[in-house]
Structures are given as structure tokens and as C-alpha cells.
Structure 1
Amino acid sequence: MALNSEQLAAVDCISSGHNLLLLGAAGTGKTFLIKHICKTLKSQNKVVAVTATTGIACCLYDSAQTIHRWSGIGDGRFHCKEIRQVIKNNVKFADVRKKIKNTDVLIIDECSMLSKNFFECLNEVCKLKDENQHFGGIQLLLSGDFRQLPPVPNPLYGEQGEFCFESNLFSKVLPHRITLTTVLRQSDTELIHAIHEVSIGNVSAETALFIESLQRPLEKDDNCIKLFSRNEQVDDYNRQCIVDFPGELYE
């Protein structure tokens, strides 16, 4: 598939050594473009680390890791002021130190779930490569759609769940931004328009009628797949299924 003008501009920006924030709604070709960029950079003998904020997003790429694992930050239990020293001095993080020092370009997909706190901690960790430069001089490519999933708060570790772009550091290190606007995943203009309105939270009467027209009666099936929006809801449902299961419960 040929690249469109927006995608070509992104490739040119990254190939020129700039940090880039790549935005675009679902279906605009971000994943396809990232794979193309990886091939381009590797042909230039660049060491590229492909990461994402979720394990599911990592599955879209070969040899990708979550940014939490790649950076050694993990669940964020260490404060920004101490995380660099922890990773620098703890023998358990030897592989993390090696990855950071060898990486030329760091790609982070699904950046909408990257929090302000994590973004700033990541900057400190990457400075293990060069403490005199933001992110240790590693070139950055952040990709995602800030209208999708936000960062997950974690009060236990002081994670407020603020967006990464709320950090003062964000605009300094990511001055170049390209937004992909052409939807490639589907060609149904009515569906594309409806998805766009829902994503921005401004649903017209026409879109509401279109969504309602998709309703249909479903057969009742107690064994059907259940979908939940949070892990804790999944855990609660699974626990209840175990409790309701016939027989004696052992722990």
C-alpha cells in the first residue's frame, strides 16, 4: 500500500532526525506507518525500540515491549527523583541499562495512556544514556489518539492519571506534530462520520439515528462472551463464576 502525503511527511520528519508526535483517529494508518518507519530507520543502521503502553498494542509489532518493561519503570512505584538511580545501581536492571544506551530511536504507541508522571520518569531513565540531553538524546516517536483511552490513575503510587501533554517537558521535546486525517480502515462514509462524532462527544441527530438503526434482536445466551471495560470488573465476574460453580470450593 502506497503512503499518502501525510504519511510521507511523517517519514521525512523522522528520517531527518526530528522527534515526532504522530496523531490520528482509528483506521488512519498509524500502525502501518510505524512499521514502515521502522524499516526505513533500520536501513539507516539505527537501533529502534518499538514499545507501547499496553501489551495488546505490542502484539501488533514484532519484538515490541511495553514501555513500562523496556524502561524498567514498571508499575511506577519509584518517584521520578529516584528512578534513575534505582535503575543505574541495581543489578536487576542491567538489561534495561544496555537497551537504553544502545537505542537511537524510541517509538511509543498508544501514547494517550502515557501519563505526565510516567513521561517525566521516562525522561530521567533515558538520561542514563546522556544526562545533558532530554531523554538522553534518544529520538522519540509518540503515536496515538488522545480521544481514546486516557492514563490510568494509581493513588497507591501517587499516579494522578494526567495526560503526558500536560507536562511542561512535552512541548519542548515534541515540537513536530503530524495528524493523519484520511481513514483507510473502512470506506463507509456514514460509519466514518458517526465514529468521528462519537469520538469528539458531539453526536448529531442523524448519527444517533444511524447508530439506532444498527440495533437488532439477539438470542439470549448465558454462555455468551462478556466484555468489561476494566480489569477489576473482569476479576469480580470471574470470582462470582467460581463461587457459583457446583461443588466444594478449595483454596
Structure 2
Amino acid sequence: MTQEEALDILKLGHNVFLTGAAGSGKTYLLNRYIAHLRAHGVGVAVTASTGIAATHLGGQTIHSWSGIGIRDALSDDELRALVLRSRVARNFKKVKVLVIDEVSMLHAHQLDMVERVLRHTLDFTKPFGGLQVVLCGDFFQLPPVTRDDGSREKTFAYEGAAWDTGAFAVCYLSEQFRQGDDPLLSVLNSIRNGEAGEKAKIPLRTRYKKDPSFAHASAGRPTSTVFPTRLYARNINVDVINGKELAKISGAEKVFRMETHGFRALVETLMKSCLALPELHLKVGAEVMFVKNAIDGSYVNGTRGVVDAFTKEGGWPVVRTFQGKKITAHPEEWRLEDGGTVRASLTQVPLRLAWAITIHKSQGMTLDTAEVDLSDAFEPGMGYVALSRVRTLSGLKLMGLNETALSVHPKILAHDKKFRAWSDAVRAALAKAGDKEKKNLQEEVLFTRFKGSRDKELVQKIRTDKEKKKKRATHLITAEFLEKKMPLAAIATERGLTEGTLLGHMEKLKGAHALPDVAYLKKDIRDFEKIFAAFQKSSDGTLTPIFEKFGGAHSFDTLKLVRLFV
């Protein structure tokens, strides 16, 4: 299926599973559809199965957006509480389309939970509450991560009940924009077809420990001296290589230490979802990679370069990218939010040494050159992900290969044939529809079902006007009262708000590192020291266990107030 055919199907409002080989343009097509919706004022939620994948689309994780968090199950009581949360309800009610990228890394039970929450919040009679759901990904790539204790079997998203009830139209993209007609493409296709035998290994052997060539030299980096990104299966290999390479460089080493805020378990969750390091060791001449998308677009997750210098003020690294651009890498913040409140945050320079990275971290990247070691591959799909990062076979330097590397999960191999057949059926049905009929149906979806605007200029004007007229944030007004050392009850009366609302403002201020000194509020809290000690022992700051520990003697508002001091 071509991108244009898939775009037509998306515009018809069907729930869609958008798939295809690596480099077939899935993310590009998603961005086109998202831009189309937003241009007409249609609310679209852009999410992904992992934090890294979410950054590629400028979205957030599906776990955060839907409110399911890191749960493996959702009880009836938890569902009722979740549906009542204003932030979750607000997320759902303002969107008509939900996008979930990298669905291969989403467990079936997680998609089922998302469907259940949406149905209970929006419309119980319709799958996913009536939203158009667009799933995107390639099941030949990395599968869902399972717990080390083996307590839950690995199940793919398409094996869940939500996939069946969603009746997803499959759009299997067939065009290739990364490898083109390069010999590497035949190797990748062999892996996808489960035929990666001796024939597939022949072209790979031609790249065994052979330095890669680069089709176009980068500014300041002659073709012959372009160093490939090294991809390895395990973190320990990556850390060792990066450490050795850094040690080879003479000169002073600078260390940048991560700053964290929030409860331990939440901080740990946040650290797992981003690529920033607790300690970043750099020297002038170090090969680095940006691990976050810049708000101004000056760099993206995966932009590579060399540390050229450190600034005189602040000592921040100046990176010369392989395209010759100089960028000062200032600290960036990653946040874990709940209900608009920052529960955990970390701040670090958005770089990591990039002589080597793990294959898991490389998913979603496109590399001109790569040195790949698959001798330690431990998961089906690893070889496919690593090899498909590279544009051409000549850009590959293969250091090792084992049998697992070129394997794919047997369940995926069997189901892929069904995906292809279903996609062909969808394409045939689309071809039967006349252009006029198709256009009428698409307009009905856009303007009636999604309530989009026909006047794109008006949509843009409204968006611009909202930004200009945006009133001062109410939590900042609360901060002014707190600076005057006023009691919460007095502020609530003055502002016509509940104390619970004010506590929400204070949590938001704390998350933004803008909470004034509120130590004066401690004196009015009975058993402050005991409650504070209980929170210090908590790994995630959840209120209910603390509430139960004290037998309900203290209100949730009181507990929230104490939690602000932890």
C-alpha cells in the first residue's frame, strides 16, 4: 500500500493499524495526518508506548495520557477513581483521534486497559469510547519488555480483546525511503520473511569488520574519517566502549551530575524512560549524541557530533554536529506529570557518549554509518532493528553475528501474512470507491464526526489569539499569596477556591521549582513530624497507604500539604 492510499483510509475515520518495514515512512505519514487534523482544529492526542518513541513525535506516553500508569491491571475501584480524575477526563474529551506509536512494544493487557478507560469515560457502547485510534509500528521490531521474574507472559497488542473490538483496518506500507534498492534491503526482507539463511548472510559477510563508507561527507568531517555509531545488544558493552574511547582523549574531564526531584520510585521510572545519564563525563573531542528534541528544533534525539569546547560561563559543552553546526548543550528537564502536576523531574545536559549505544536505544533512528555487534543478541528482532537503522549496506561494519540476531518471533512471522492479506483487502475496497464518494465520506468524518473547521485560516487565527490572550496562570497568583505568608484558609476565602485546589497549585509550583517558602504552614499540622517520616519511607508518595497508616486521622488535603515538604 502506498502512503497516499493509507492517508485516504486514515481520513475515512477508520481505526487503523499503520505498519510496514523500517524506512517505509510510517512516522512521516503519521505527521502528515496529524498536521491535517490540527489544521482543521481537530483534537488529536499523540502518544507512544515508550518515552523515547514519544519524543520522536513530540507526544507523551500512552500510559501517562490515559492515566493507566505502570499498572498491570485495573480494578473496578481504580477504574472509577481514574474516570473521576479531572485531568484524565479533560484529556479524553478534547480529542477525536488517538495516535499510539511503536505499538510493537505495548502489551496486549495495556491496550485493553486503555480501551476500557476510554469506553467508561466517553461512550460505553463504542470501542475506545468512539475515538478514532491509529496504532503505528512494526511487530518485527523490538517486542514488549517483560518482567525479569517471568510473572507475565509476553503478549503482543494484536492478541488482546481491544484489538478485536477495535476492528482495525490494516495499512501495510510497501514503499521504501531509507534503503531504496540497496542490497541491504534484500537482507532485511529475508529476515521479515523468515528466510535469513546463508543467502542473507553472504552480503553481511562482505561487511565483516570492514570500515563503512559514507555517501556524503559532513562539514568538517572528511568521508574517510567519519566514525560509525556502534550498536551493541547489552548496556555493559556500550559502557565499556564509551569509557575506553573517552580515556584515549587527553585533556581535562568535566562531569555533569543529574539533579532529581520527587519520590524515589517515580524518579527511577522517569530515569528509565529517558536517555539522560546520572553522571555525564565529557572531554573536548568526545563523540556525543543529543538525547532529547530541542524546543527550537536546533537538534533532535539522535543528532550526533563532537564536543568542540566548554563555555566560559557555566562550562556547558559546545557540540559541533556532523553537519558543521555548533550548538551549546544547556541542561534540559524531563518530567513525570500526573493531573498537570509534576510528580518527579530530572535535569541534565541532554547528551551521552555516542561511540556506542544499545540496539534498544537506537529504535527509531536513521544512521548513515554504524558498527554493529550482534554476537550477543538475545531477543528476536534485535538484528532487524540494528541493521535497518543504516541507510546502505556500505554504511555497515559488522563485528559479529549469532543465530538469534537474524531471527524473528514465530508468532509475528505467522501473523504478518494475515496483516498483509488484510491490507490488500482494505486497498481493494478503497479502489472500488469512486473519488467523489471517497471525498464525501472523508468530509463527513472531518466536519461532522470530528467537528473540524472548514476555515483553516480561522483555526490558526483562533490558536494565535488564544496564545495572545492567555490569562495569567492561576497557580502563579496563588504563589503571590503564599509569599505573603497567608494561611491556606484565608487564601481560599480570598480567591473563592477550595484548599484542595490551592494544594494542586502548590504541587504545580513545586514541580516547576517555583514554590515559595511555605515552612510557616507546618505549625498548623498536627503530627507533622510523624506524617513527614512516613512519607520519607514511601517509595512513590502515594497518599492512600499513608492515610490508612494513620487510620484516617488526617485528611487527604493534610497529607498533600505534608508531602510538599518531602
Coarse TM-score class (shorter-chain normalised): 0.7 to 0.9
Residue 158 (structure 1) shift: 5.8
**Percent identity between the two aligned chains:** 31
Which residue of the partner structure matches residue 246 of structure 1?
Answer: none
Distance 1:130 1:157 in 2: 36
Counterpart among 36, 41, 45 of residue 40 in structure 1: 36
Which residue of the partner structure matches residue 225 of structure 2?
Answer: none
- Give the number of aligned pairs: 224
Secondary structure of the corresponding residue to residue 21 of structure 1? strand
Counterpart among 117, 125, 140 of residue 147 in structure 1: 140
Counterpart among 189, 204, 209 of residue 211 in structure 1: 204
Residue 22 (structure 1) shift: 0.7
Secondary structure of the corresponding residue to residue 215 of structure 1? coil
| CA deviations over 1:194-230 (Å, ceiling 9, x no partner) | 1121244321323201111101268xxxxx9885546
What letter is aligned with 1:202? E
Residue 77 (structure 1) shift: 4.3
Residue 25 (structure 1) shift: 0.8
Change (3 A) 1:83 1:194: farther
Mean alpha-carbon deviation: is it higher for 5-14 or for 190-199?
5-14
Alignment of 1:52-201 (within 5 A): 52-62=48-58, 64-79=59-74, 81-89=76-84, 93-127=85-119, 128-154=121-147, 159-201=152-194
Q: TM-score, normalised by structure 2?
A: 0.37
Distance 2:137 2:107 in 1: 13
Residue 41 (structure 1) shift: 1.4
Residue 34 (structure 1) shift: 0.3
| CA deviations over 1:121-147 (Å, ceiling 9, x no partner) | 001111212222211111100011111
What letter is aligned with 1:85? R
Unmatched 5+ residue regions in structure 2?
Answer: 212-227, 244-566
Change (3 A) 1:208 1:157: closer
Mean alpha-carbon deviation: is it higher for 36-45 or for 75-84?
75-84
Distance 1:173 1:162 in 2: 17
Counterpart among 22, 27, 35 of residue 23 in structure 2: 27
Secondary structure of the corresponding residue to residue 178 of structure 2? coil
Residue 156 (structure 1) shift: 7.2
What letter is aligned with 1:15? K
| CA deviations over 1:68-125 (Å, ceiling 9, x no partner) | 1111111124426454223124xxx432221012110000111111111001100111
Change (3 A) 1:80 1:162: farther
Mean alpha-carbon deviation: is it higher for 108-117 or for 192-201?
192-201
| CA deviations over 1:29-69 (Å, ceiling 9, x no partner) | 0010000000111233210111111122122223x001111
Change (3 A) 1:159 1:119: farther
What letter is aligned with 1:20? V
Residue 181 (structure 1) shift: 1.2
Change (3 A) 1:80 1:212: farther
Distance 1:44 1:159 in 2: 43
Kept after mapping to 2: 8 A contact 1:19/1:174: yes
Kept after mapping to 1: 8 A contact 2:122/2:129: yes
Change (3 A) 1:193 1:81: farther
Distance 2:172 2:229 in 1: 35
Q: TM-score, normalised by structure 1?
A: 0.79
Distance 1:23 1:53 in 2: 15
What letter is aligned with 2:93? K
Counterpart among 13, 17, 28 of residue 17 in structure 1: 13
Kept after mapping to 2: 8 A contact 1:77/1:157: no
Bigger Rg, which one: 2
What letter is aligned with 2:156? F
What letter is aligned with 1:79? L
Q: CA RMSD in A?
A: 2.8
**Structure with the largest fraction of strand:** 2
Mean alpha-carbon deviation: is it higher for 78-87 or for 5-14?
78-87
Change (3 A) 1:175 1:203: same
Kept after mapping to 1: 8 A contact 2:72/2:109: no
Distance 1:80 1:200 in 2: 40
Distance 1:211 1:122 in 2: 41
Distance 1:27 1:131 in 2: 38
What letter is aligned with 2:170? R
What letter is aligned with 1:136? G
Kept after mapping to 1: 8 A contact 2:104/2:137: yes
Secondary structure of the corresponding residue to residue 100 of structure 1? helix
Which structure ranks higher in relative contact order (CA pairs < 8 Å, sequence separation ≥ 6)? 1
Secondary structure of the corresponding residue to residue 59 of structure 1? helix
